[in-house]
A and B are shown apart, each in its own frame.
Chain A
Amino acid sequence: DAKTTQPNSMESNEEEPVHLPCNHSTISGTDYIHWYRQLPSQGPEYVIHGLTSNVNNRMASLAIAEDRKSSTLILHRATLRDAAVYYCILRGSMDSNYQLIWGAGTKLIIKP
């Protein structure tokens, strides 16, 4: 199964956009890219997912490179409540029953 690489941590100022990068150079053509986040003392929560095209929802945007070897999660206007660990995940193959393969994530620190 393909793996992802993310920075261990990032800092951003409140009310500014945040771009969280993710590398997945061994992604296969059918792997979807999922993002989850885990707030302190909480279970993870779904943020967004995509395959090839950029995706937008109420929480964030997902920009996927044309070669699909990288992607960026965009929080348009970060708030203190967005401080969390953000996980970039590839959906596993059919052999693994489409499991989500979790990495270590990026700890996002928001400065007031």
Chain B
Amino acid sequence: DSGVTQTPKHLITATGQRVTLRCSPRSGDLSVYWYQQSLDQGLQFLIQYYNGEERAKGNILERFSAQQFPDLHSELNLSSLELGDSALYFCASSVVLRGGNTEAFFGQGTRLTVV
């Protein structure tokens, strides 16, 4: 158990709909990252928040948005869903290692299926 909690585990929805994925980071971790993993692909970085503020953006579509709340949990909002948005969505939180590196702890992911 990494200590990062993602809900829901599975989500099936129709094209054009909007969904919200939720992530609770490990206790004490201020950074939250969101990643998308399509079938048999590597992870694509979407966005990072640090203590409530957006810190970095990756290949995140304009239809997607995220936020981190004062209690540090984060939500990823996906709207106008398309079939190609079907993927695993991972949340990670991080602790700082030596040299400013971070060890990221990942949740179990939310499997989104758009039909």
Interface residues in chain A, defined as those with a beta carbon under 8 Å from any beta carbon in chain B: 32, 34, 36, 42-46, 49, 51, 87, 91, 96-105
With beta carbons under 8 angstroms apart, the residue of A44, A49, A97, A101 that contacts B48 is A97
- Identify which of B11-19, B60-68, B70-78, B93-101 touches chain A: B93-101
Say yes or no: A97-B55 contact (C-beta < 8 A), given A42-B108, A43-B2, A45-B106: yes
Please pick, from A32, A34, A46, the residue contacting B105 in the complex, using a CB distance under 8 A.
A46
Q: How many residues of B contact A (CB 8 A)?
A: 26
Q: Shortest beta-carbon distance, B29 to chain A, in Å?
A: 13
Q: Chain B residues near A43 (CB, 8 Å)?
A: 2, 4, 90, 92, 106-109
Q: Does B56 contact A (CB under 8 A)?
A: yes
Could you say which of B2, B42, B56, B108 contacts A99, with CB atoms under 8 Å apart? B56
B43, B44, B56, B58: the one contacting A44 at CB < 8 Å is B43
Contact A104 B102, beta carbon cutoff 8 Å = no
List 20 interface pairs A-B (beta carbons < 8 Å), by A numbering. A34-B101, A36-B104, A43-B4, A43-B92, A43-B106, A43-B108, A44-B104, A44-B106, A49-B97, A49-B103, A96-B56, A97-B48, A98-B101, A99-B56, A99-B58, A102-B35, A102-B42, A102-B44, A104-B41, A105-B42
